[in-house]
Structure 1
Amino acid sequence: MLSETIRHTYLLHGLNHDQVAAIAAIANVREYDGGQTIVRQFSRDDGVAIVLEGTARVKGFSGETLCECGPGSIVGEMSLVDDQPRSANVVSVGRSKIVVIPGDKLWTLLDSDAVLARTFLHNLCRVLSMRLRTASIHLDLTQGKSVAPT
């Protein structure tokens, strides 16, 4: 059952059984072979995806690898939040299984349950904050700056 598979992912941390089941009910599981595109840069879809199995590689504007996301990781969250086109390509590294939660259905669900919305969005903010911190540290390191506390 999908709800049991996704309930321990970071994005759904703190949600009760019924809330996870509601998200699972609107989600789709997709399987990808190595090299297949999971998220296409500049596309207008706004769903968020959770890596269940395998690895997803996020590639930036010039094709460089920005990161690799393993089981439990999320991709596509920026377009969910800002309603802008996708900022990167995400491709499958080897065989992978991905849960896709369509943005329109997710927002409708969040509108119907304030506690679910608060918990989900809090988790999403934590993910975004962690990614911003990581990017800031990476930028400092590439510029030769110390990241140690002073």
Structure 2
Amino acid sequence: MIESKYLKENIENIQRLMSIQALKHFETRNLGKLLRLSKIRQYEDGEQIIQEGDMDPWLYFLLSGKIRITKEGEEISTISRKGEIFGEMRIIDDQSRSASVHAIGQTVCLAVDTAAGNRMANTGEKEARLDFLLLLYRIFAEYISIRLRLTNEELVRAKREAKRSDTTPTPPKPQAPASKRYIENF
């Protein structure tokens, strides 16, 4: 991995952030705060970005390339869309990483140090910390909504496919003798 220093808050970097779909509606001052807590990381093909079970504080935006997400060794997804967020579940629920992430080909990410928000609280920048947290949670809410919609669509497709593949006719229910039918109907 090749990693930059923490980024500087300048107009050029802010404009780059505004090209990310999830960030384009945020105020310049909030994007500046996000920049100061971020680094650019470049990964080579197959290089691990996130290890399942880890407790690191990093949140990622995919800037270029593609990633593979695996859980317990099974591939669960690939992501290649610029601006896609990953690594957010660990930040939201404060539990260990639920999956591993590897680069497919050369991959570049914006890595946001979410632990830096805690450092803001220690330095007396309460308002800045609150702005930072609100920004993160708004981003999370938007992406979770998108992912839930996609999951719903996949679930509907899977159910339709399962119905089509279930062509085994159900055998007719045997009729009870007439005397028993009378008792059951009573």
TM-score under structure 2 normalisation? 0.68
Correspondences of 1:86-97 after superposition (within 5 Å): 86-97=97-108
* Structure 2 unaligned regions, length at least 5: 1-11, 163-186
* Separation (CA, whole Å) in 2 of partners of 1:51 and 1:133: 20
Counterpart of 1:64 in 2: which secondary structure?
Answer: strand
1:57–1:69 CA contact under 8 A, matched in 2: no
Q: 1:143 aligns with which of 151, 159, 178?
A: 159
The residue number in structure 1 matching 2:20 is: 9
Correspondences of 1:1-150 after superposition (within 5 Å): 1-106=12-117, 112-113=127-128, 114=130, 117-144=133-160
CA separation of 1:19 and 1:117: change in aligned 2, threshold 3 A: same
Structure 1 vs Structure 2 CA RMSD = 2.5
TM-score under structure 1 normalisation? 0.82
Between 1 and 2, higher relative CO (CA 8 Å, sep ≥ 6) is seen in 1
Measured after TM superposition, the shift of residue 67 of structure 1 is 2.9
* Structure 1 unaligned regions, length at least 5: none
* Separation (CA, whole Å) in 2 of partners of 1:13 and 1:115: 16
* Separation (CA, whole Å) in 1 of partners of 2:21 and 2:118: 19
Runs of 4+ in 1 over 3 A off after TM superposition: 106-111, 113-120
Equivalent residues, number: 146
Bigger Rg over Cα: 2
CA separation of 1:46 and 1:136: change in aligned 2, threshold 3 A: farther
* Separation (CA, whole Å) in 2 of partners of 1:76 and 1:32: 16
Percent identity between the aligned chains? 19
